[in-house]
Amino acid sequence: MIKQASICMRQGKFHLLKCVLPVCLALGFSAVSPVEMQPNKGKPACFVIRDVRVFDGNNVIEKTNVLVREGRIEKVALALRIPDSARIIEGQGKTLLPGLIDSHTHIFAAGLQQSVQFGVTTDIDMFTQVDLVQAMKKQQAAGANPGRADLISSGTLATVPGGHGTEYGLVIPTLSKPEEALAFVDARIGEGSDFIKIIYGHGWNFPSLDKRTMAALVQAAHRRNKLTAVHIDTLQDAFDAVECGADILAHVWIDREMTDKLLTLVQKKRTVLIPTLTVISSICGLKPGITLLRDPQLEPLMDSDVLLGLQREFPISAFTQENFATAQMITRLFKENHLPVLAGTDAPNPGTAYGASLHQELEMLVQCGFSPAEALNAATALPAEVFALSDRGRIAQGLRADLLLVEGNPLAAITDTRRIAGIWKEGVELDRSGFREKIAREKKSAAGQPTPMPPAGLGTGLVSDFDDGSRNSRFGSGWLDSTDAIMGGKSTVEIKITSAGAENSLYCLTISGEVLAGAAFAWSGTILFPAEKPFAAADLSGKKSISFWARGDGQTYQVLFYSRKTGFIPLSQSFTCSAEWQQFNFAFSSFPNLDSTQVTAIAFIAGPQPGPFRLQLDHIALQ
């Protein structure tokens, strides 16, 4: 299940859930596993890009030739003997860039394929599933990755029990004492983490690591020659992280302006900032995704899920354009003081998209006073240097041929990075026209879908009272089994009709089973498709809430809604029920971004915490 990133005010503090982690749930859809992702079948070719302007990651060469052979840059020179076997690509009026690097993403499913279609050839991931990291590392080491961006990842982040990072459904290791830091770091390195991501945030209602434990993690990582990236929320968080030796600040803070004391400390420590302006602007209600999806250079390469992600908004935001101006001011101060700033997007949070949003991040850096060359450096040579990726990020002899060819001159107009003429990954050219045609077919098919209609039987609003002794519903599919088995999990479920329902009714629906660890997100429960066909949308907008009676074993459960607008992202509300029957009512408005005109499924689930469960439901109705 993807827990939607959200931000809200609680008791005067802001609650910022930034990392979006995937686990597609219950709809019969599973995230594409790493071994299922098929790379392009092309082979590295010998080719020359002739008479082209080159930004090599640091400097501009106004006119030169670039020879590529066997996936590597063989020579960059104006005087160049072109091999007879080489394909010649005319570069006049174009600019050749190193493949771009997004320094803050969260990768799942097809994210790496989406990234590379926009010229992002390396994704720096700040928290994802360990099995995906391990599978991708294996494929990258074998050279079997030309059709995807490379993945550099922190794997599992460092947080306390119940802290940020534990709310996304993944059962992850945590720590709470400095004495546990070295073992934690060693375990992450053993899993394949390239660097250590640490959560140190005090602007929300989640518990956080204390400063001593954060400092111990930084020291342990440095002892193992690993960088640390610290997620911070506030000015004080930033000061503490820098004081403790954090290498990277993940996100720019927006609660207060930079102080002289912190600026002096950052200058001394040379701390790197990844401001993630794209997602910060989304948090501040500025809807960056709407602007991006209207770009004719990018939109043809965005499928319906990407377009929906760009339209999504953070459900409740206490922040405004004024807070975004603070973020811009802080980012500008880093630049003016010659401090390292990397381009990162925090995709796929609301208002962002893999690959495409990095072009917007570059534009936002320019708006903060960066020259186009400085912004491009923040997405090429500089992140390669920071993350010790010595084989990429520049156009130079012997380096990987990860290349982005664009029309025009992004050194004069940064938005020219979107005018993509060609992309090569390890010397293999991407079939962007084929990808574009595939997207066009999918959009055409989606446009032909019928307008959702209210299901027959919606009138009274009753979905199921189970008094006919069956799992049937007044409309839709009836209540079906749903477990993590579709994702390789081992959780079990048994659904049956039992006697003694709520309010002295004859029967109720009893759901029992066991949630077992093993899947990325472990769950067990029941699901209903409200339309005539599974995955089709139904218009439930004539009703405003869902009510139901429940009793159980004292555990917390979730009621989920899916809609066409949010795709396979469930919108959830939690409830805890005791041994006595209790009525619950949730307004549709309490499910952020729910489009009740296009509901595709309703589910009740247990998980992800492992263990047996027993839940009973009765009188499920829409009101």
Q: Rounded distance, CA 50 to CA 396, Å?
A: 15
Mean pLDDT along residues 111-138: 94
Domains of the chain: total: 2
8-state DSSP, 390: T
Inside any domain, residue 231 = yes
**More confident of the two residues 448 and 22:** 448
Per residue in 507-533, pLDDT (tens digit) is: 999 999 999 876 667 889 999 999 988
Residue 372 DSSP SS3: helix
For the segment 351-360, the average pLDDT, to the nearest whole number, is 97
**Residue type at 394 in one-letter notation:** R
Domain of residue 175, CATH code: 3.40.50.10910
CA 334 to each of CA 359, 365, 458: distance values in angstroms, whole numbers, following the listed order? 20, 11, 57
Containing structural domain, residue 171: 156-191+195-250
The β-bridge relationship of strands 72-77 and 60-69 is antiparallel
Region 163-188 average pLDDT: 91
Can you read off the two tokens belonging to residue 215?
A: 């400092």
Secondary structure (3-state) at 159: coil
* pLDDT tens digits, 185-237: 999 999 999 999 999 998 767 899 999 999 999 999 999 999 999 999 999 99
Stretch 121-125: mean pLDDT: 98
Please tell me the pTM assigned to this model.
0.79
- Residue bearing the bigger pLDDT, 344 or 172: 344
List the alpha helices (DSSP H) in 315-370: 321-336, 356-367
How confident is the model over 549-560, as a mean pLDDT? 95
pLDDT of 555 reads: 94
Mean of the pLDDT values across residues 303-310?
A: 86
Q: Which two tokens stand for residue 328?
A: 């811009």
Which pLDDT score, from 0 to 100, does residue 317 have?
A: 63
Is 54 a domain residue?
no
Q: Per the domain annotation, does 95 fall within a domain?
A: no
CA distance 26 to 127: 23
- Which residue among 221, 250, 279 closes a domain? 250
When pLDDT is cut at 50, 70 and 90, the band that residue 8 belongs to is very low
238 found inside a domain: yes
**H helix runs in 56-104, sequence order:** none
Strands (E), 376-506: 403-407, 420-425, 428-429, 462-464, 480-483, 492-499
Average pLDDT over residues 297-320: 83
Segment 253-278, tens digit of pLDDT: 999 999 999 999 999 999 999 999 99
The string over 219-251, giving b where at least 16 C-beta atoms fall within 10 Å of a residue's C-beta and e elsewhere, is bbbeeeebbbbbbbbbbebbbbbbebbbbbbbb
pLDDT tens for residues 403-414? 999 999 999 999
Question: Hey, what are 298's tokens?
Answer: 């990018």
Structural domain contains residue 601? yes
Model confidence over 144-164: pLDDT tens digits? 787 999 999 999 999 999 888
Tens of pLDDT, residues 274-294: 999 999 999 999 999 999 999
pLDDT for 316? 59
Q: Is residue 380 part of a domain?
A: no
606 within a domain of the structure (yes/no):
yes
Confidence of residue 618 (pLDDT cuts 50, 70, 90): very high
Q: How many residues does the chain have?
A: 623
- The 3-state secondary structure of 220-276 reads HHHHCCCCEEEECCCHHHHHHHHHCCCCEEECCCCCCCCCHHHHHHHHHHCCEEECC
Q: Which of 132-136, 146-150, 263-267, 310-314 has the lowest mean pLDDT?
A: 310-314
User: Does residue 218 belong to any structural domain of this protein?
Assistant: yes
For residue 562, what is the domain's CATH number? 2.60.120.430
Q: Which of 209, 230, 250 is the endpoint of a domain?
A: 250
Residue ending a domain, among 234, 250, 266, is 250
